[in-house]
């Protein structure tokens, strides 16, 4: 179970991701966030990124983030595919670090929101953590700070959440210490 400070730090990391020019240069992206203990009292949150490509085969027409997430979680084995490759990199760089654990999986993309005064461009991030908590961040292009919603008991989850839950489960399994 995530502590309040860890959940708060995770939220800060997600907010930072919506502003990072390095991460947002080629949207959509999927983030795998993990924690390592820097010392006895400080824990750092890091992330690895996958830029999901368009699915192939009969689902090739689905270019939405949900379609790309579904393809990402469907097109892997324990050793082949984008998620195992990223988890191998995570394990190689941080897997032996004290306090290492996967925390969350997030999808970040640009979107359009239709409001009463017309359409507005925004950057949207949906995430799920290992406790099932859902994070939604929406940063309008004209704004500096995102609107953040954290839902401990989600009833009406965004469409991307089931695929993010699947991706996170795969990542946790692939990074678990035997």
CA distance 43 to 36: 6
Helix, strand, coil percentages for the chain (3-state, nearest 5): 35, 30, 35
CA-nearest of 51, 9, 7, 20 to 123 is 20
Q: Residue for token digits 């990072």?
A: 20
Tens of pLDDT, residue by residue, the chain (178 residues): 888 888 889 999 999 888 887 777 777 888 888 888 766 566 688 887 877 665 555 555 555 666 667 666 666 556 666 777 777 878 777 767 777 888 999 998 888 888 899 998 988 999 999 999 999 999 998 888 999 999 988 777 777 888 888 888 888 888 875 4
Structural contact between residues 17 and 9, judged by C-beta atoms closer than 8 angstroms:
no
Structural contact between residues 158 and 126, judged by C-beta atoms closer than 8 angstroms:
yes
Cβ neighbours for 5, distance < 8 A, ≥ 6 positions apart: none
User: What is the reported pLDDT for 53?
Assistant: 60
User: What is the reported pLDDT for 57?
Assistant: 55
User: What is the reported pLDDT for 178?
Assistant: 43
User: What is the reported pLDDT for 64?
Assistant: 65
């Amino acid at each position: 179970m995530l502590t309040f400070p860890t959940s708060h730090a995770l939220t800060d990391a997600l907010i930072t991701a919506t502003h990072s020019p390095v991460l947002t240069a080629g949207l959509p992206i999927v983030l795998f966030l993990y924690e390592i203990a820097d010392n006895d009292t400080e824990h750092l949150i890091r992330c690895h990124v996958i830029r999901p490509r368009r699915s192939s085969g009969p689902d090739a027409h689905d270019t939405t983030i949900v379609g790309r997430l579904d393809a990402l979680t469907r097109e892997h084995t324990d050793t082949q595919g984008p998620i195992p490759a990223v988890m191998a990199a995570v394990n190689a760089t941080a897997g032996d670090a004290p306090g290492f654990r996967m925390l969350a999986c997030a999808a970040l993309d640009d979107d359009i929101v239709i409001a009463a005064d017309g359409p507005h461009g925004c950057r949207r991030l949906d995430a799920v953590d290992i406790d099932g908590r859902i994070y939604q961040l929406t940063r309008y292009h004209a704004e500096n700070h995102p609107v953040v919603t954290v839902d401990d008991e989600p009833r009406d989850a965004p469409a991307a959440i089931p695929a993010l839950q699947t991706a996170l489960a795969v990542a946790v399994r692939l990074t678990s210490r035997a």
